[in-house]
Structures are given as structure tokens and as C-alpha cells.
Structure 1
Amino acid sequence: MLFFDGSWGALALLWESFPFLYGSSAAPAASAEEARGLFPAGTVIIDADHLRTPAAAYAPGTTIRVEPDGRLGVHRSGFQDQADVLLDRLREFRSAIAVLDGSTSTPLGTAYLSTAVTEDGEPTQLLPETRIWLEFARVPNKNEDGPRVYDVLRANVGCNRLGAAVAAGELLTDGRIRIDGLGGTQIGCQPPLRGQEEWFKTFLTSQPSWRLNGDELTLTSGSTTITLLDRSIAEPDFPLDGTRWKVVATITNADLRQRDHQPMQAWLSVDGHRLTGWTGCNELSGTVTRNNTELTFTNVAITDHPCPPETAALQTAVLTTLGPAVTYTIDHNHLTLQNPTGTGLDLKAI
């Protein structure tokens, strides 16, 4: 990586001879040598700050180190404030340019589902009813400390939700997934599932190589290869309209889910501007308008049957959710509705 404002052709031999080359083509003030015409303005002095005269006229600039594998680090923190902020910006810039370049595609911003696993060239079967799910995302850092933006890896192979976050631009460098470790939920998996999860965690932390070919992502580490497909193709989202969505959980405080031990019988269905459903003990109807992210429910009415205690709370949750500015997201066969107060419903297509 080069940042320069002049001709570097004369330094070609040095670039070929040394693994790293440091220098500066500008300074706060002209040196005595430059003033006497001994060096043209902008001459690069490599690792020779002590030779500059007068020394007080100069302050060393921040020098960024580029490792052979593409990782960036601060080699020397100079007179610029917040060298770590500069480093974060460079990482984000490098990552953004790689995407815009067109010659380098990236899985960032996409979720994937496994289609095949091989070890030593032979197919390996995951446990029944399990599948590898991977998602790569870029998210802002909500804390004051640390990088401004994170690149995040999220994963699941049938039990715990796993995740890791690194500075933006550092997750997918040099064709490898680079994470130091994985955090996640602490669900107690049964031994076969726990063993599969530990195998997958070891794979992800071994810096596997990644290769993207259209919608197919291939990860390789040692003799193990995992092939995955863009989730939107492997499992397309169900349409909002014409699907009967069964309530599987109620949401309070934006993220707290309450699931019943018995299957909930409440359901909703949207067809254009028409809403129909069942609250668990009463029929429901209403009208719907929408944009790309929100639904607005109006004229919601129900029949007038008394509800037993076990369904009264569910009916209240359904009616409380169905109002103005309800955000909705669909993830394959799951629909989430949430109103501005943080109350909502988790629903599943049936």
C-alpha cells in the first residue's frame, strides 16, 4: 500500500530489496539541507529522522505497517493524534475498496447455509436436522472504546448462537477468516451436538480460507471443506401475503420472548390490505397498509367470546401489537412484528 505525492520510480530497487520501506515526503517545515538545495523538496528520507536538521523543526509522522498477509498495524505513532482512529479508517477503506473494485467479491453482508461438508475428500454428514449457518455483517460499535466499526461473524450449527467481532476490514483479510475466539450463548447441548459444535468452533478459529463463487461460499482448513449457499437462495423468505403465520412467542421490552409450553393457536394472515386471524379465542379482522419496513394496522376488530385465562394474555399481546408503525422482518419462515413500544410477536409460517 502506497501513499505518496511525488514520483517514486527511482526507489523501485529499494522496494524490491527490502520487505518494508518507511518514509515521508512532507514535513511541517523545510530542513536546512532543503533550504540549501542539497535535497529537492519532497525527498524521501527513509528511517533517518535523526539526520533531519534542525530536529526541532520536525515531528515524525504516523507510520502504518502492512504485513505480507494484508493486516495493518501502527508501526510508529507520530505527531498525529489518535493513530488507532487512523488505523480503523484505513481498514474500513481497504475493505470498501475491495468491494468496489469488482475483482474481489466478499461474503460481508450475507448469511449462508451449508450444502456439503467433506473431510479428506469424502462426504461427511452433519447430525440429523442440523445445518451450518454463517452470517458476515458490519456493525457500528456502540461503545466509546474500541474501533468505530466492527466486522462480525455469527454462526450456528444446531445448538448455541456463536459470534466474534474484529475491527472492520480485519475479518476477511488475505482470503482467510481471522478471529481470535468465539463467544456465544450457553445452552447445554447433548453430547453428539456438543461435539459437533466444538468441531465447528475449532474449524472457524483455525483461520480457514474462504472463496466466493457467485452465491456459493467455500471454506477450507486442512483436509476439511465446507460448502455453503447464500441463505436467500437456499431458503427463500416466505411471502408476507398469503401465508398463515402462527404465533410462537410474544415479545416484551423489545427483546424478551415468552414462549408457552403448549403450542399457541393464535395466527395472522395478510392479503393485500386485508387482515384476518385468530387470537386464541376470537376471530380477528382489520386493514393493513405498508412500506418496505413497517405495517400499519387499522380497524382491528374481534368477535366477542370470553377468553379463558390461558389465552386471555395471548389475545391482549396480539391486539397490543397490531397498531401503527409496526416494524416487520421475515427470516425464511419466521416473521417478527414489533410496535414502537417494544411489544411484539414472533410468528412462524404454517
Structure 2
Amino acid sequence: MSRLTVLLVGFLLVVTGCGTENDSEGVDQSSDQSASQTPSQTPGQSSGESSLSGSWVVTAMEQDGQPRDLAPGTTVTFEFTDERVTVATGCNGLFGTYRYADGTLRIYGLGGTMMGCGGPRMEQEAWLSEQLVKSIEVEPEDGLRLTTDDAAFVLEGAPKVEDTTLAGTTWQLDSLIDGQTVSSVPQGTTASLTLTSDGTLQVDTGCNTGGGSVKVGTATLRVGPLMTTKMACVDPARQQVEAAFTKVLNGTVGYTVEADRLTLTKGDSGLGFTVK
């Protein structure tokens, strides 16, 4: 698979901090209308449409009909899977669900990671975030051309990137999945997990640490009861993340590894990770 690399009327741009309390300020792109404006149809690809699936690199951008340069030292990429889209902005990663039908792309529940970036990178991310919640027309050319009311993006297929090995990698939580809504990890909370080759799962829930047994199948994990420390966490954000861990990491859990991303799912709930 490729590197995991987007319409809401109201988009909330929140200045936040990176994963810990002491990190630099950053940005969390999420919509306060994601719950009420999730698509009525199944997200992803409509039958009869040319495929968006795969990883794409932005080679040119336009604003108001004029060329717009990428921020120095950045690469912007799009990653489409069956139901989700991820965009690397050159600063943070944005993600959400999407619907593509009749040549129109609509992105729902846009959220993002929270790394602090300065100057041109932050400005580029803010501009991209504004464009991605609009109605986007898709024109297949040699690659793809995405057009909004005042911007355009030219995309080419990205080279294939090998998937990260599941076991032996420390995976850091960056997103919480609830049905068709994807939200970023709350500010100031870090959580992670590691699977070892001897069948052990080690977790840091953002509040407590511990582990349990795990059996790895082709597309599922069988997670035994987790034994963790019992520290009380009064921070609601940490409680939220720990509750998500407990809900998903229980019994049979679906998993996918795409480039440097791991997604765990159980029913309508899920956890999204990136390589630490």
C-alpha cells in the first residue's frame, strides 16, 4: 500500500499544542459540524467513477487563477483509501471521510494532527484546510486536477512506499475514529502501543501503562485482557483517550498497515496511529 496521506460549511481552526503540555503551539483542524453533516450515503468511491484510490503528490497549485508556490521545503500529498482521505500539508496531517460521485469530491469530518509549524508552512496549511471543506471538482488528466471555487491542485501518482512492520514498531496515537467521524487526539495527550514478536502488547493509554497478550492474524488481532496501572486521571482528555483504548483493544480487533500508518477497528470505533 502507499503512504497514507478531503464539505463542511463550518470549519473550526483551533490553535493547539503538540502531543505534550510542553511542546510548541500547533493547529488542530476539525469541524464542529462533522456529526450533523456526515454523508447520507456510504463514503468512498461511487460505481462508474475513475478511481481516486492511491497516493498522490501535488505538483502545482493555483489561487484565483494564478500559480501558487508550495511553502519552501514542503511536499503536499493526498492518500485515498476506500473510505478515508489523508492529506500531508507540509506541516500536519489532515484526515477525514469522503464521498466521490458525478465528478465531485466532498470531504467530511476533517481533522488533523497538532504539530506546531511556523510562517509559510502554517499559512499553507490554513489555506489548504479552507479549500478541502469546499465542493471539489475532479478532472482526470495525466493524473488528477482538483478544483474549488478559487483554487486548483494538480496531482500525480506517488511512488509506492513499503508498509512498516507491525511488530517491533512503536505506534503513536494521532486520531480517534467514531463511525464516519475522525478526530485528532486531544491537546496535551500522548498515547502509544507496541507489539513484540513474542506475542506481547505494550500500551500507554495517555493515563496508564501496561499490556497483555496478542495474537496476530492476517487482518485481525486477538487481544487478551489488558493489565494496566491504576492511576486516576482527572484530565477529561486523558480519560477520553484511555476509554477509547479500552473499547477498541478488547478481543478481536481489525487492523491495517498502510505505509507508516496503523489503523485498528472494532465495530464503529477505531484508533489511528503513526510511527513514533
The TM-score range, normalised by the shorter chain, is 0.5 to 0.7
Match of 1:228 among 139, 156, 167: 156
**What is the RMSD computed on CA atoms of the aligned residues?**
4.5
CA distance in structure 1 between the aligned counterparts of 2:153 and 2:204, rounded to whole angstroms = 47
* 1:209 paired to 2:141: yes
The residue number in structure 1 matching 2:241 is 314
Cα 1:227–1:295 change in 2 (3 A) is same
Cα 1:335–1:126 change in 2 (3 A) is same
CA distance in structure 1 between the aligned counterparts of 2:244 and 2:145, rounded to whole angstroms = 46
* Count of paired positions: 201
The residue number in structure 1 matching 2:115 is none
Dislocated runs of 4+, deviation >6 Å = 159-162, 194-201
Deviation of 1:245 after TM superposition, in Å, equals: 1.2
The residue number in structure 2 matching 1:344 is 270
One-letter code aligned to 1:127: A
CA deviations on 1:76-115 (whole Å, 9 max, x unpaired) are xxxxxxxxxxxxxxx96xx9xxxxxxxxxxx847412217
CA distance in structure 2 between the aligned counterparts of 1:316 and 1:220, rounded to whole angstroms = 41
Structure (1 or 2) with the larger CA radius of gyration: 1
Q: In proportion to residue count, which structure has more helix? A: 1
Give the alignment's TM-score, normalised by structure 1: 0.44
- Give ranges in structure 1 of 5+ residues lacking alignment: 1-90, 96-106, 140-152, 167-178, 211-217
The residue number in structure 1 matching 2:192 is 267
Cα 1:198–1:329 change in 2 (3 A) is same
Give the alignment's TM-score, normalised by structure 2: 0.54
CA distance in structure 1 between the aligned counterparts of 2:248 and 2:157, rounded to whole angstroms = 35
The residue number in structure 1 matching 2:41 is none
One-letter code aligned to 2:141: S
Preserved contact between residue 110 and residue 230 of structure 1 (Cα < 8 Å):
no
One-letter code aligned to 1:228: E
Q: In proportion to residue count, which structure has more strand? A: 2
Deviation of 1:200 after TM superposition, in Å, equals: 10
Deviation of 1:136 after TM superposition, in Å, equals: 8.1
CA distance in structure 1 between the aligned counterparts of 2:254 and 2:99, rounded to whole angstroms = 25
- Give ranges in structure 2 of 5+ residues lacking alignment: 1-46, 111-121, 147-151
Cα 1:290–1:226 change in 2 (3 A) is same
Preserved contact between residue 173 and residue 185 of structure 2 (Cα < 8 Å):
no
Preserved contact between residue 105 and residue 138 of structure 2 (Cα < 8 Å):
no
The residue number in structure 2 matching 1:147 is none
Identity of aligned residues (%): 19
